[in-house]
Amino acid sequence: MLRTNADRLVKLSVQGQITPPSRNGAYRVDREGVPFVLPGTGGISYNVKVGHPAFGWAGDHVEPGVSTAASIDERGSGKNQAYNTLACVGNEAVVVSGEAKGARGVVTGMHGGIEHVLIDFADEVLDKLIIEDKILIRSYGQGLQLLDYPGVTVRNLDPDLLGKLGIKEKGGKLWVPVAAKVPARLMGSGLGSPSTASGDYDITTADQEEIKSLGLDQLKFGDLVALEDSDNRFGRSYRRGALTVGIIVHSDCLLAGHGPGVTTLLTSVDGSLDVTVDPQANLGRILGIGIYRK
């Protein structure tokens, strides 16, 4: 078992509400210069869930499950930043208003720019939820440290989920199962962000032949992925030999420089983090959520 400082972490309530879809104009323009009108961020996605393909939807930046924010109209506010930063993948979420009050779900990722925290609920809960229902998250995980691996930085990860990822210790390294490896040259929107404790950044998919040749067109919501030569300790940077493990949180996109979003979980620059490829490495399978709910 990995030794951590989990017993010293603060478990704190943060509260959001289900956000409506929003738009800044009738059309957006894709990477080929073609205008499009498609569903995107926000709202309650009834048929897009963790475990489904991240590609192939008639949408752009589609978020699986339920999209939430602390403040709908002030996305850059301190309240929203705290909500997006303190919530961690794997945290428990509880509906605290409306017909679905008392229902429980799981945080599956954070989406930057729109500042959404994404939550998975069972179908019977989705049918009762409405826009602006309030959801409380028991935020727990920021500040998590691996006591025997100081070179591995942990971000956005519930300590209970850490123990379920199937991480192995071998040769002085941590080996994490991931569904795929992503070359640093494919990372786009969000690159250069000063922090990785909130939001995500995108795998660019303009070169569809390259994406298919690497098998990345098979990625699913909730897949764990390795970002090669990517330093996510104190921002999102290229660094040769660095490695980041993250999770796919939103769908492919049509905009230039965009694609499936990745929220950071683990990162290292000293070689103490490595990965094994396992197509089954998916949050839905691990926690029995999304399409894997029974």
- Note the pTM of the prediction, 2 decimals: 0.97
Q: How far apart are CA 167 and CA 177, in angstroms?
A: 7
Whether pLDDT at 74 is above 90: no
The confidence score (pLDDT) of residue 118 equals 98
Domain 9-139 classified CATH 3.40.50.300?
no
Q: How far apart are CA 103 and CA 123, in angstroms?
A: 11
Task: State pLDDT tens for residues 155-191.
Answer: 999 999 999 999 999 999 999 999 999 999 999 999 9
The confidence score (pLDDT) of residue 289 equals 98
Which residues does 157 contact at the CB level (< 8 Å), separation at least 6? 88, 89, 90, 141, 144, 265, 266
- Number of Cβ within a 10 Å radius of residue 228: 19
Task: State pLDDT tens for residues 106-154.
Answer: 999 999 999 999 999 999 999 999 999 999 999 999 999 999 999 999 9
Q: What's the pLDDT band for 259 if we cut at 50, 70, 90?
A: very high
Q: How far apart are CA 93 and CA 96, in angstroms?
A: 9
CATH superfamily of the 152-292 domain? tm1086 (SG structure) domain (2.102.30.10)
The confidence score (pLDDT) of residue 141 equals 98
Which residues does 24 contact at the CB level (< 8 Å), separation at least 6? none
Domain 9-139 and domain 152-292 have a common topology: no
Hey, where are the domains in the chain? Answer: 9-139, 152-292
Instruction: Tell me what the mean pLDDT of segment 240-264 comes to.
Output: 97
DSSP class of residue 6 equals G
Q: How far apart are CA 49 and CA 282, in angstroms?
A: 12
